[in-house]
């Protein structure tokens, strides 16, 4: 079972042989901390989360061109160009916030992860279009999950879709509309319970409503053909729901756009996360998504037995299982170990 310095540990079937009914399909997510990163990637905790405008004001977006200002933003280097560097910096801010506020001691999580990868894993049973890899390292009894696949170019040009989404975030919230900068973000650290597992997750906060509840913001092309409608109910709604469940969000606000006409806003609508399952036409099950996430976390706990070893959980679309392998000493995981040690101020 040796392969390029990796040692085979175990496999987890995507389709469980025995379906275990989750105790509840409801999300148990609590925001325990939030912080802000400015355009120069400076960390602060005194900035208010961006407020969503009232629904009565959403109509002011109709007819606006979200691509407006794209060239200037690109010219001024306000879009993320080297994602690997940004990812590393985000992890350090996350780990420092955990360390400075004693969040491990206060909340006693078994896992720490970015929230996006957790939602991606939840969706795997029904949306298996992409390979993914999760690298895991246990530090003082807590397992840190770092999703490292599919590989993204470390020096890619952000497209106009990303900029247009950023523009929409500014237009529909109380942010300063003249200071669009993709590096500037608000983050929440959430405590998420999944059956017997507890996670601390980091999630970008795009907006909160008048009750300070998090709301997701999206841009989307209207589903006009039968294929597009099928894709929307089977894939997009699934991903909206998984992200909403992980982050404890009740609503997703979507700006429908005409992409070929400079991302012109056609209309803005709100979708309730609780109704998405009913709109899915039976293409996916919320409880089976939760059950798979629960099974995956149990599998990770079972596989990880050594704090001096790094484990890789690999899923490929052409197979029906997640495979776990461990890395031997001297492999290329040193950067992950260094990242965690720098962020958590761990000494040998």
- What phi-psi label fits residue 54: left (phi over 0), alpha (psi between -120 and 50 degrees) or beta? beta
The terminus-to-terminus CA distance of the chain in angstroms comes to: 31
Question: What pLDDT, on a 0 to 100 scale, did the predictor assign at position 130?
Answer: 84
Question: What pLDDT, on a 0 to 100 scale, did the predictor assign at position 88?
Answer: 85
Question: What pLDDT, on a 0 to 100 scale, did the predictor assign at position 307?
Answer: 87
- What phi-psi label fits residue 108: left (phi over 0), alpha (psi between -120 and 50 degrees) or beta? left
Our CA angle for 133, 136, 138, nearest 5°, is 175
Tens of each residue's pLDDT in the chain, 348 residues? 445 678 999 999 998 645 555 555 555 899 999 999 999 889 999 999 999 999 999 999 999 999 999 999 989 999 988 887 888 889 999 999 999 999 999 999 999 999 999 999 999 999 888 889 999 999 999 999 988 755 444 333 457 899 999 999 999 999 876 689 999 999 999 999 999 999 999 999 999 999 999 999 999 999 999 999 999 999 999 999 999 999 999 999 999 999 999 999 999 999 999 999 999 999 999 999 999 999 999 999 999 999 888 899 999 998 899 999 997 655 555 566 666 666 665 544
Query: What's the predicted TM-score (pTM) here?
Result: 0.90
Whole-number Å distance between alpha carbons of 78 and 80:
7
Whole-number Å distance between alpha carbons of 264 and 222:
12
Whole-number Å distance between alpha carbons of 241 and 277:
8
Q: Buried b / exposed e across 124-136, counting CB within 10 Å, b at 16+?
A: bbbbbeeebbbbb
Q: Which residues contact 326 (CB under 8 A, 6 or more apart)?
A: 6, 7, 9, 303, 306, 309, 310, 311, 312
Instruction: Give the E-state strand segments of the chain in sequence order.
Output: 2-3, 6-13, 28-37, 43-44, 111-114, 132-139, 142-147, 185-194, 197-204, 207-208, 214-220, 251-258, 264-272, 310-315, 321-327
Strand partners, 13: 321
Whole-number Å distance between alpha carbons of 293 and 24:
13
Question: What pLDDT, on a 0 to 100 scale, did the predictor assign at position 243?
Answer: 95
Whole-number Å distance between alpha carbons of 141 and 262:
50
Residue 174 token pair: 């109380």
Contact indicator for 185, 79 with CB cutoff of 8 Å: no
- Domains: count for the chain: 1
- What phi-psi label fits residue 262: left (phi over 0), alpha (psi between -120 and 50 degrees) or beta? left
Contact indicator for 238, 283 with CB cutoff of 8 Å: yes
Residue with tokens 């052409």: 318
Q: In what order do the strands lie in the sheet with 251-258?
A: 207-208, 214-220, 251-258, 264-272
Question: What pLDDT, on a 0 to 100 scale, did the predictor assign at position 23?
Answer: 56
* Structural domain boundaries, residue 66: 2-344
Question: What pLDDT, on a 0 to 100 scale, did the predictor assign at position 25?
Answer: 56
Strand pairing report for 197-204 and 185-194 = antiparallel
């Amino acid at each position: 079972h040796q392969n390029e310095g990796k040692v085979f540990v175990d496999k987890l079937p995507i389709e469980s042989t025995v379906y275990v009914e989750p105790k509840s399909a409801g999300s148990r997510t609590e925001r325990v901390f939030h912080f802000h990163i400015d355009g120069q990637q400076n960390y602060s905790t005194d900035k208010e989360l961006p407020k969503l405008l009232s629904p009565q004001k959403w109509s002011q977006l109709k007819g606006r061109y979200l691509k407006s200002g794209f060239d200037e933003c690109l010219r001024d280097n306000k879009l993320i160009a080297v994602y690997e560097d940004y990812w590393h910096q985000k992890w350090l801010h996350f780990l420092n916030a955990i360390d400075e506020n004693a969040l491990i001691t206060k909340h006693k999580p078994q896992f720490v992860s970015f929230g996006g990868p957790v939602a991606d894993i939840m969706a795997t049973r029904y949306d298996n279009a992409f390979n993914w890899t999760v690298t895991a390292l246990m530090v003082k009894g807590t397992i840190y999950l770092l999703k490292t696949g599919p590989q993204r170019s470390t020096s890619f040009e952000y497209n106009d879709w990303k900029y247009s989404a950023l523009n929409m975030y500014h237009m529909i919230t109380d942010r300063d509309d003249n200071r669009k900068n993709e590096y500037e973000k608000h983050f929440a650290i959430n405590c998420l319970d999944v059956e017997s597992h507890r996670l601390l997750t980091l999630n970008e906060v795009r907006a909160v409503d008048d009750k300070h509840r998090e709301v997701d913001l999206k841009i989307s092309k209207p589903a006009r053909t039968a294929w597009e409608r099928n894709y929307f109910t089977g894939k997009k709604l699934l991903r909206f729901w998984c992200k909403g469940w992980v982050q404890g969000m009740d609503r997703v606000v979507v700006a429908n756009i005409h992409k070929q006409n400079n991302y012109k806003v056609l209309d803005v609508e709100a979708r309730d996360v609780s109704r998405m399952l009913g709109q899915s036409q039976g293409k996916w099950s919320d409880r089976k998504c939760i059950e798979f996430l629960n099974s995956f976390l149990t599998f990770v706990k079972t596989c990880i037995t050594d704090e001096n070893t790094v484990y890789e959980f690999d899923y490929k679309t052409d197979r029906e299982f997640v495979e776990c392998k461990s890395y031997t000493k001297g492999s290329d995981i040193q950067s992950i170990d260094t990242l965690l040690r720098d962020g958590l101020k761990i000494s040998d």
